[in-house]
């Protein structure tokens, strides 16, 4: 089934800009949002899941807002932010090749619905609609966080769902199977993912040794704490790199060119950063620049190539082409569509000597000189655009 009504309702709620962004990064929405859509209840928040770490990192960079209220919370499981007055939780504790893989981490079948922005289709567990219609909770013993599942029982009961005693016992027994040996492991099972700072319950004093018995005693007195009724404090991050340092597990490839430092994305795009990531691999700048090609749309007249901006400025083969003023502007392969003259005239491929590479500014590469390599056939660069749309990642990238 297409579920056109539910899809239109979801798109209307998100808005065109956010929908297009989620399509670009091939994200999933899964869990409570989908349950609300199919139960005809208001959507309160959005849980985003991703195919890989890079997709999440690039989405965060694209929508990052440095206003004081953008980040609500950042934990080892999720980043909670506000976008257009909507609370969006970006899950980063695990990544998923297909939507069905997400369901393996969920606790109840009534949550096991997803929308895949790559296919623009809903993916539903075989019991999703039936159990939501019956308003019953069926537990998935393979869920990653059964303690949180136990806490969520009351949330679902408040919404009119019921759980049988055998199902409740299955949750309790799953919690008993956990081998928790320290506070970090316990915080993993308690904290953050659903917007509640349960990890604050397990703070130990200096010199205290961990035991579950001791934690149980601490929880007994938590209601007497002065800050028990206070909301968790929201966190202010001065720049997006501080957020990515927490989320990105793989070493970040960086390159330092002239006075600027760039992160090299998996799509082989340069992104300027203010500070070095904690976990990094530095690439030789000259080696990197010498291995790259850059692109520009120009006007072709009688087998000669001229600038759209200055009809007298010619791009000649076999010589270093230097600008009349300070810079010539190009695009990286993955950002050809960002050209001011996209699909106007023909596309030139050039190389930029290291000493002539000035900087990357937004989606533009600034250069004080280049060598023209070739005219790229329209069929070829159109196929590149199809590959970008299909795969999201260009083929044959260096330094992977």
* Residue 18 located in a structural domain: yes
Does the pLDDT value for residue 99 go beyond 90? yes
Question: Quick one: 258 and 220 in the same domain?
Answer: no
Total count of domains within the chain: 3
Single out the residue in 224, 240, 271 at which a domain terminates: 224
Question: Quick one: 56 and 165 in the same domain?
Answer: yes
* Residue 340 located in a structural domain: yes
Single out the residue in 261, 286, 311 at which a domain terminates: 286
Question: Quick one: 361 and 257 in the same domain?
Answer: no
* Residue 237 located in a structural domain: no
Domain that holds residue 386: 290-391
Task: Specify which residues 93 forms β-bridges with.
Answer: none
Q: Write out the DSSP string of 270-293.
A: EEEESS--SSEEEEPHHHHHHT--
* Residue 192 located in a structural domain: yes
* Residue 244 located in a structural domain: no
Question: Quick one: 311 and 275 in the same domain?
Answer: no
Question: Quick one: 307 and 359 in the same domain?
Answer: yes
* CATH code for the domain in which residue 179 is found: 3.30.460.10
Question: Quick one: 173 and 100 in the same domain?
Answer: yes
Does the pLDDT value for residue 261 go beyond 80? yes
Phi, psi of 360 (to 5 degrees): -105, 125
Question: Quick one: 282 and 294 in the same domain?
Answer: no
Q: For residue 43, what are the contacts with CB-CB under 8 A and spacing of at least 6?
A: 13, 33, 36, 37
Q: In this predicted model, what pLDDT tens digit does every residue of 173-185 receive, in sequence order?
A: 999 998 888 887 8
Looking at residue 234, what DSSP letter applies? P
Question: Quick one: 70 and 141 in the same domain?
Answer: yes
> Are β-strands 371-376 and 364-367 bridged in parallel, bridged antiparallel, or unpaired?
unpaired
Q: For residue 152, what are the contacts with CB-CB under 8 A and spacing of at least 6?
A: 107, 108, 194
* Residue 16 located in a structural domain: yes
Question: Quick one: 324 and 268 in the same domain?
Answer: no
Whole-structure pTM over 0.85, yes or no?
Answer: no
The least confident of 180-184, 200-204, 291-295 is: 200-204
Q: What percent of the chain is predicted at pLDDT more than 90? A: 57
Does the pLDDT value for residue 278 go beyond 90? no
Question: Quick one: 193 and 330 in the same domain?
Answer: no
Q: In this predicted model, what pLDDT tens digit does every residue of 155-199 receive, in sequence order?
A: 899 999 999 999 999 999 999 998 888 887 887 787 644 444 555
Question: Quick one: 218 and 318 in the same domain?
Answer: no
Question: Quick one: 272 and 383 in the same domain?
Answer: no
Q: How many residues in total does the chain contain?
A: 400
Q: In this predicted model, what pLDDT tens digit does every residue of 212-248 receive, in sequence order?
A: 888 788 777 665 655 555 555 556 677 787 888 888 8
* Residue 119 located in a structural domain: yes
């Amino acid at each position: 089934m297409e579920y056109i009504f539910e899809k239109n309702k979801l798109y209307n709620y998100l808005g065109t800009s956010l929908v297009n962004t989620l399509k670009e990064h091939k994200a999933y929405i899964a869990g409570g949002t989908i349950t609300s859509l199919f139960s005809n209840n208001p959507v309160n928040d959005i849980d985003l899941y991703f195919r890989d770490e890079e997709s999440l990192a690039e989405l965060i960079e694209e929508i990052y807002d440095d206003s004081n209220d953008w980040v609500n919370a950042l934990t080892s499981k999720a980043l909670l932010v506000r976008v257009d007055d909507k609370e969006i939780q970006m899950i980063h504790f695990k990544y998923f090749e297909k939507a069905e893989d997400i369901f393996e981490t969920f606790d109840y079948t009534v949550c096991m619905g997803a929308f895949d922005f790559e296919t623009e289709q809903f993916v539903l567990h075989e019991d999703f609609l039936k159990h939501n219609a019956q308003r019953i909770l069926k537990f998935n013993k393979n869920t990653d966080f059964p303690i949180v599942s136990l806490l969520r029982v009351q949330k679902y009961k408040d919404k009119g769902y019921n759980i049988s005693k055998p199902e409740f016992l299955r949750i309790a027994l799953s919690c008993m199977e956990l081998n928790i040996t320290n506070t970090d492991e316990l915080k993993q099972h308690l904290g953050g993912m659903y917007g509640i700072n349960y990890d604050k319950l397990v703070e130990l004093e200096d010199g205290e040794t961990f035991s579950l018995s001791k934690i149980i005693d601490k929880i007994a007195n938590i209601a007497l704490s002065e800050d028990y009724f206070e909301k968790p404090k929201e966190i202010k991050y001065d720049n997006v790199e501080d957020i990515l340092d927490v989320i990105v597990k793989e070493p970040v490839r960086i390159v330092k060119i002239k006075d600027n430092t760039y992160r090299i994305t998996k799509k082989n795009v340069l992104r300027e950063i203010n500070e070095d990531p904690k976990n990094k691999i530095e690439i030789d700048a000259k080696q990197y620049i010498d291995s790259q090609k850059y692109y520009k749309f120009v006007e072709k007249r009688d087998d000669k190539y001229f600038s759209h901006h200055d009809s007298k400025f010619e791009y000649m083969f076999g010589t270093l082409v230097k600008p009349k003023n300070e810079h010539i502007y190009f695009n990286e392969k993955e950002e050809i569509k960002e050209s001011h003259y996209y699909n106007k005239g023909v596309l030139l491929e050039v190389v930029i000597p290291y000493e002539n590479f000035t900087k990357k500014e937004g989606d533009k590469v600034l250069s004080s000189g280049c060598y023209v390599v070739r005219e790229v056939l329209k069929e070829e660069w159109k196929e590149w655009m199809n590959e970008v749309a299909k795969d999201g990642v260009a083929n044959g990238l260096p330094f992977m």
